[in-house]
Amino acid sequence: MPELPEVQTILDAIATLIIDQPIADVIVGWEGVIDRPPLPVFLNELRGRRVTGVERRGKYMLFRLDDGHWLVMHLRMTGRMRVVAASEPRDRHDHLVLQLEDGREWRFNDTRKFGRAYLVPDPADVTQRLGPEPLSDDFSSDYLAAALTGRKAPIKSLLLDQRLVAGIGNIYADEALYRACIHPLRPGGSLDAQEVAAVAAAVKSVLAQALTEMGTTLRDYRRPDGSVGSFQNSLQVFRRTGEPCPTCGAPIRRIIVGGRSTHFCPEEQRQT
């Protein structure tokens, strides 16, 4: 569920709550949440450590530990993070609980069990294959043009390919293509230089705005303090099927692209 703006917002909020707090103990409610290393090693290596810094790469959260290793986490669709008093009752979907020395608990909750935790010497062990950060200068019109050359897959699907660019999910792919006036089914390689530039700029603008609005809350996403984001109020096409396009009034259409729900304006985003 969370995309780049949501992950960054959660990370910013959680950082101040956990940095430099020793992890007294670790409780795993569902073993599948640990991707690597094997559970006993994971527990042994994490106990007694403390987080010294946080970073984000695509939709991955990176927690640097005081022994130089990294706790890497991905929230996937329904993952949530909170830091609460240990006395607060646990939820059945609290799969990973890090008990902090001061009596609080850092809890990872995930209804659909897609989220994962990794404990690795180098975060690149997990994030190696990710493409550039969309808000960095590495994600330029030139980069995108080269990456799209010869590609026949729909531009929508390519924006969701984390190897091409890291951090975009279904919401912001649809919103960016709307801003760029590009039909989601256009083959990536069919975009001319001007259209590629429009897509790159739209990706950056929609993500930057969503960051300032602390993300989009449709259902599951919450900031660690329980509050919601506000970008859902700025959505122009996503989940607005049948509603009028903000620009021309034509009804927003919903189609399936690459197995994902896709929303666009048939007038502003022409197929040809």
Partner DNA sequence: AAGAGACCCTGGATGC
Partner DNA sequence: TGCATCCAGGGTCTCT
Told to judge if 59 belongs to the known catalytic residues of this protein, a careful annotator would answer yes
- Residue 195, both tokens: 């259209």
Answer left, alpha or beta for residue 242, where phi above 0 means left and psi between -120 and 50 means alpha: left
Question: Closest CB to DNA among 50 and 76?
Answer: 76
Number of Cβ within a 10 Å radius of residue 88:
11
Question: Closest CB to DNA among 49 and 175?
Answer: 175
Told to judge if 156 belongs to the known catalytic residues of this protein, a careful annotator would answer no
User: From the CB of 39, what's the least distance to DNA, in Å?
Assistant: 15
Query: Element (H or E) spanning 206, and its range?
Result: helix 193-212
Told to judge if 2 belongs to the known catalytic residues of this protein, a careful annotator would answer yes
User: From the CB of 121, what's the least distance to DNA, in Å?
Assistant: 18
User: From the CB of 101, what's the least distance to DNA, in Å?
Assistant: 31
Question: Closest CB to DNA among 64 and 76?
Answer: 76
User: From the CB of 111, what's the least distance to DNA, in Å?
Assistant: 5
Q: Are 169 and 3 in contact (CB under 8 A)?
A: yes
Q: Which amino acid is at 154?
A: P
How far apart CA 224 and CA 227 sit, in angstroms, is: 7
Catalytic residue of the set 50, 90, 254, 260: 260
User: From the CB of 168, what's the least distance to DNA, in Å?
Assistant: 7
Strands 60-65 and 51-57: antiparallel
User: From the CB of 23, what's the least distance to DNA, in Å?
Assistant: 25
Q: How many residues does the chain have?
A: 272
Catalytic residue of the set 2, 123, 184, 224: 2
Question: Closest CB to DNA among 48 and 258?
Answer: 258
SS3 at position 190: helix
Contacts of 232 (CB under 8 A, 6+ apart): 216, 217, 218
Catalytic residue of the set 49, 56, 57, 59: 59
Told to judge if 213 belongs to the known catalytic residues of this protein, a careful annotator would answer no
Question: Closest CB to DNA among 175 and 268?
Answer: 175
Question: Closest CB to DNA among 49 and 59?
Answer: 59
139 alpha carbon, distance to own chain's centre: 17
Number of Cβ within a 10 Å radius of residue 163:
11
Residues in touch with DNA (CB under 7 A): 1-3, 6, 32, 58-59, 74, 76-77, 92-93, 111-114, 129, 151-154, 157-158, 160, 162, 169-171, 187-188, 215-221, 258-261
Report CA-CA distances (Å) from 72 to 37, 86, 103, 214. Answer: 12, 23, 23, 22
User: Active-site residue numbers?
Assistant: 2-3, 59, 260
